[in-house]
Structure 1
Amino acid sequence: MNRLLIPFFFVIHLNAFAQLVNGGGSIQYLRIFEETDDFGKEYLDVLEGSIENVKNDTLRFKIINDLGYHYHTRNLQKALEIINQGLREVRAAGNELWEGRMQVSEGAILLRMEELDHAELVLTSALQKLPEVETWLLLTNMGYVFERRGDLSMAFEYATRTLQLGEKYRDKKAIAMAYSDISNLFWKQGKYEKGVEYGKKSIALFEERGIYDLDYDFTLHVLGNNLVELDQFEIALPYFKKSVEIGEKYGFYNNLSDSHIALAELYIQIEDFQNAEISGKEALKYAELLQNEFMVVRSLYSLGKLKNQEGDYESAIIYLERSIRTATDQFGDLYYLGLIYRDLSSALEGAGQSHEALQAFKKFNEFNKLVFNSDADNRIAQLQTEMDFNQKENTILLQVEKLKRQETIQIFTMVLTGFMVIFLFILYRVFLKRKKYSMLLEKQNKEKEFLLKEIHHRVKNNLETISSLLALQTAQIENQELHDIMLESQNRVHSMGMIHQNLYQGDNLAAIEMKHYFENLGKFVIDSFDATDQISLSVSMEALELNVERAIPIGLIVNELITNSLKYAFPENREGKITISLYQNNAHLYLHYADDGIGMDTKSKIKGTGFGTQLIKLLTQQLDGKMTLSTQSGTEVYFEFHFEKAA
């Protein structure tokens, strides 16, 4: 259903009535019992107060039609006046569709006013103006017309047409209404088990909709009626009580009268005559408020039946005769009229009025034959068979559709599975290819690693060869100064060779672990000067890896420093200690070298050739570093190298 905008003046009702809600600065009308049931008993007053100010034709027609249709549950005469006003407006506007819709509401009101012929004419006229999808409510009310006349076969036929229409357009409300009417007709025929079956189907559909409206309320007591006739009183009672609760919430006087009549019947059956009388009088109260002669007749009949059961035949006769007078000769529902005469016959007989009792029974028999004649029974049986067949056929069609959907799903699943298999196969091929490529890369890396290690090994061997040649040459030199120069050169070559040895022996081909390197280098140089027992070495640092470009220059610097210490810091075989440390801090490397020897006189002339000192300066510049010398206690040299540039 469409939500139509209502002007701002409705805002005064907003907090109290849920059919009028604020939406984007405007007020929206939620159709009562279509889009919402969240409101109180005053909902009709709210709608009535809004009509005067609504200028939009479509919205105005909608509200008038809803107001008139739902007012027929409280005041039939007022409901008819509202619909007649609406009909004048839609005819003046030339709106045939809304004329048809309002005629359906008019027909519903007229049949409850017992103007059955007029109702049939109005509904027939409306049928030509409505699209087929909207005609289910019209067909439902047409069925009520024939039911009131006692023509149950035609009533059954209209109920089956409503059902077919609902199934065609998959309209749950139409299907629920059809099941409800069929349940009511089975109750009148005395086929109570079938009545319960269809009543429960109707209730289930109404509750699936989730809106408790007039027709759901009606169906609750229809199902209860069938259960009472099957002596299932405890099961029936909650249905009646719920029906009364909904009727009181929304002011459904028609349904309240119906429900209290049904409750009175239940209490009569269990011989709770006190509650039966209370319910019967409640039924009469709501029927008179509604000014519905049909409901007044039935309420009086209910009270008369109760008095019969109590044995108060005089009171029973008063209620039943009053019921017949209210019905008049124009009363259309021969089914109920027959029941009234049946009970009146029993009351008259109980009061000793045998002749009058016989006349009343003849009337009952006459009406009973008109309602339950063989033609009608045959027609109803035929319609029931057709309906059951259609239901089974629909079930088969649904099963076929379900099988087709399952087949479609299976085909889709198979196709999807096929694509997945192909996709997984492609993924597997890609995986194998990548694995093969990865294995090839791994093999190449191992080969490169082997070659790199082999290169370092050969460089080391070559440097060792050079060192050995220098050692042989040094052994033949008698000049001490020249001998020392050759020894220093040999140590320098050996310090570089140790770098390459560590590379091919270690796990990391790109970096040297400096603590271990300093220890080995220091041990070698001290041993070359034959000072192992005289000089101790301490490398106080954490493990630190450097690449070859930084390791070789720093190694040569340390080699020169140790050599200088061994040559000049510890004269006359003096014992001493050399300390080395190297650490990294952010983008800088810090090298600290110290010995506890005699120290250096910075003002005296440089001893030896001065090549070692010059080499240290050159290597420091190569590493973008600076050197600081301290000679206060032994000799201490501090180096700071710029890490990034050095790299």
Structure 2
Amino acid sequence: MVFFLTAIDRNLYMRRVKIFLLAAMMLTATAVCSQPAKLKNILEGLKGSGQDTTRVNLLIGLGKFYLNKPGEFKSDLDSALLLSGQARQLSQKLNYNAGVGKSLILESQVFSETGNKSKAMATAQNALQFAQGHHLLKETADAYLSIANFYGIENSDLAERIRYTEKAIPLYQQGGFKMEQAGALKSLGDYYHLQADNPKALKLLEESLALYKAVGFKELQGVYDLLGYLYARTGNDVLSLKYGLMAVKTAEQVRDTSMQLCTIYNRLAITYNGLKRYDQAYAYYQKALNVALRYQQTDAVQQIKFNQIILMMGIKRPEQSLATLTEVVQKYPPGDNTRLRITALSLFAKIYMDMKQLPKAKRFVDSLLFYYPDFGKEFGYAPFVNEPIIKYYFLTKAFNKAYPYLKTNDSLARLRHNLTTIATNELNWAKIDSASGKPVSALQHYQEYKSKSDSIKDLDLKKQLSILQFQFDVDNKDRDILLLRQKGQLQQNRLRNETILRNVVIGGLIVVMMFAGLLYSRYNEKNKSNKLLTSKQTQINRQNDELIRLLQEKEWLLKEIHHRVKNNLQIVISLLNTQSAYLDNQDALEAIKNSQHRMQTMSLIHQKLYQSENLSTIDMAVYIRELVEYLSDSFGRNKNVVMEIKVAPLKLDVAQAVPLGLILNEAISNAIKYAFPGEQRGRIDICLEPVADGKYLLCVADNGPGLPENFDPYNTSSLGMSLMLGLSQQLDGDFMLKNNNGLRVCVTFKAMKFNNLENELA
């Protein structure tokens, strides 16, 4: 288990860019919780402010709000940039130098967020020169930190970041800005830990913690967590456990629910794991996992699951480890994450070897051999790559192949002074030398293994004794605190009882005197209120009855109107039918027939309205099916033309249903008449489906020959085409004709809710 802790620690060091960004995300997530209240205060302050320095600071505060707002939206960054410009203009007008410096720093941060690094750096340098020229301590320090953030956290970049941060700290101290000084010290401690200078990092973090406490800052869980992590890396498990527990306690007290809580739980679990307290370790891994799942952080979920699997392997549960690992990689495949992929391969190889299934282990070992040239000598990856390979070659008796990996593992472990890995490697070396017929070398390696193993046992014993003493001290302290609280509570209860008794006697006399006077007054008021309420209730009931009667009359009248409109349309259809009997002109007969179809389209809508309980909307799915059936029957083409209907659930008011029905009538009629001449068979697809932004697409498509290549719908004598264009404009929609294995007639329109229309008319 100690091997795993060392490997993960080094892996974190080698991938410190990711750690730093994750830490920044955690701080942002914690700050976001208070953003709504902060925004409200800023906006209220701006409403009541004049053209003064207070307004400048509020504008800068609002700009920072938009800059740090969750999500990456250009509109937010544009707002932040605009506010910084307004703040600088007002500051220049007021000769408010601090405001100019703050606005320049904000502007630099906005440019950095937009990706314009060169402009951001130039603006930050301008802010620094301006602040230095006007002797502004805080703004100069802020500018140093802003410039520091332009450098990475690798090698020379990290050195520059440290240099600028170290320049800011004495300026904050000189100006008495303790909160800012504490934050800069914390960042600097984090940077030195990335440089592997753990003693200096710990000293800076302790100074930061003391300053935070001095100013009454409560959200110290991040500082405690980092201290615990660094003490674990230096081998001080007592202080690591102490600060880890303090981080958990503080986070729960301030109700921190951000991803920072996941890191805190995970690191405390690692500490318990190293102390061989597996139940507590597994419980905190599970807490960390719950937070990662809530935020859907897949990488964190994978790493925590892998930690739990390594714990299970340590307590000899290979079958359970294999089942869990298989489930994890299926549900959360590592993908392009090399670290997680190598970890998964290493775990599979070790588990199968523990289960004596060497053929299954071989394919995972082969994959690790593929990664060895690039990652076999990297601190963060080497144990995961080398140790399964060494074990596999030993079990398969390929002893000579194991030696290069033994040497690599040994040199890396000694560079890190990792006793556990050194001891494990020496034992493996002794076994391989013994099996290879090298007894002298085997004995030397075994003696080295025993020496390191005894040292580890001594360290483990000291750790356990220290932990027991720490737990004993904590228990005693908690017991003393509990006794003091109980004594204080008893004294408070005694004083409270005496005060209550005195107040009850005095209050009782006053209440008795007041009660008699109030009783009579309340009785009279109650009688008056009852009479008034009875009168009002009677009036309300009468008005309700009248409203119900009027509503029923209105509904009846509306139904009667729709019924009569439908009947009138049917009469017109019948008249047109009678008129067609006296005509011989085929064009006239065709025009009358088209008019009948159009009137039948509108008639169906009114029929639906008076037959339905809802007098305001039309169910388009039912209406379209009935209209298609009518048109199919009218043309007598059921056997030749197949109609396929796909209509999404949608209800429209009459103002949209009528033009939509007329467009359908024209499109389907044209398709039946012109797409399939004679007895030609064909297919017509009618669909009404939702698209983006609350819009719907009505489309009638046939598999006929389509329109001529140069056909222009806006320059034609066709009445049907003109109707479809005009009705599409009435719907405020987009009309489209397209040849695609036939003709597609489409209209895109926005469905208008009846309630909204009713409100607009009111």
TM (norm. structure 2) is 0.40
* Bigger Cα Rg: 1
TM (norm. structure 1) is 0.46
More helix by share: 2
